[in-house]
Structure 1
Amino acid sequence: MQLALLYTFFAAIATLANIGAQDLSMRMYSGPWHILLSVFVGTGVGLVVKYLLDKKWIFRFKAENARHDATMFTLYVTMGLVTTAIFWGVEFGFNHIFGTTTMRYVGGCIGLAIGYVIKYRLDKRYVFRTFA
């Protein structure tokens, strides 16, 4: 139960980092493709934040060296492709249906929540399997 609460807390931190980075990106650039760019930036920021928190506190992973850590990060990103598709689908769906930034962010939060539930299972089984 404690692990689930910690994972949920870290998912909330990563979600805030993601949405915050999206909002900052939108404020800095309003040209063509600004929404796509903001979602891409937010995804990158959220991914790095979540990886750093998960590897240390959830899976207690310690890399042998930089190459080992890069390999694990690559696996982590690979498992995140499916969950990112879910997150983006919900966020862009909300944007299309409601047409407002606020509702796009709501969709993003919902998509991230769904994705993080799936991501934990994928990471435990395929990425950090010897550490969980």
Structure 2
Amino acid sequence: MSLHTLILRYAAFAVVATIANLASQRLVLQFGETAVHFAGAVGAGTIVGLVIKYVLDKRWIFYDVGTGVKKHGRKFSLYTAMGLVTTAIFWGTETAFWLIWQTDMMRELGAMLGLSVGYVVKYNLDRRFVFTDRQLAAPA
């Protein structure tokens, strides 16, 4: 895969996961806007975005076509662990924007900024530590 294709594909998947993340947050925030609702919204959005991004990255970025619960469990665990670092970037940025401006628009802008920076860091971590199998399928 060319670098251009990789960047476009990874960016598109990041956008899909971001939209799913923010939609999940909005859904949770329909039930209230307390600190508990905010924490639940951020958590739910993160889980939804994580699962979607893992499935897309595994198959279409790293060409990992491996099967099996044990192998998937290990990779998803590593993928999630790498995401802890980048999630801190995302949550910190989103929360800072919310605390400073206290508007949904600025919270979402902070989320998008944090997710963008986080995804660049995450790609590099995943390439180095998660999707390392020598037998990964070659891109067509």
Q: What TM-score does the superposition give when structure 2 sets the normalisation length?
A: 0.90
- Supply the distance in 1 between the matched residues of 2:114 and 2:33 (Cα, whole angstroms): 24
The superposition leaves residues 61-119 of structure 1 with CA deviations (integer Å, 9 ceiling, x where unpaired) of: 12331111011000000000000000000000000000111111110010000000000
CA-based RMSD of the aligned residues comes to: 1.3
Deviation at 1:31, TM superposition (A): 5.2
Matched, 1:50 2:49: no
Work out which of the two has the higher radius of gyration on C-alpha atoms and give 1 or 2: 2
- Supply the distance in 1 between the matched residues of 2:32 and 2:103 (Cα, whole angstroms): 17
**Cα pair 2:79 2:126 within 8 Å, conserved:** yes
* Structure 1 partner of 2:64: 61
How do 1:1-132 and structure 2 match up within 5 A?
1-30=4-33, 33-130=36-133, 131=136
The unaligned stretches of length 5 or more in structure 1 are none
How many equivalent pairs are there? Answer: 132
Deviation at 1:29, TM superposition (A): 4.5
**Greater than 4 Å deviation, 4+ residue runs:** 29-32
Q: What TM-score does the superposition give when structure 1 sets the normalisation length?
A: 0.95
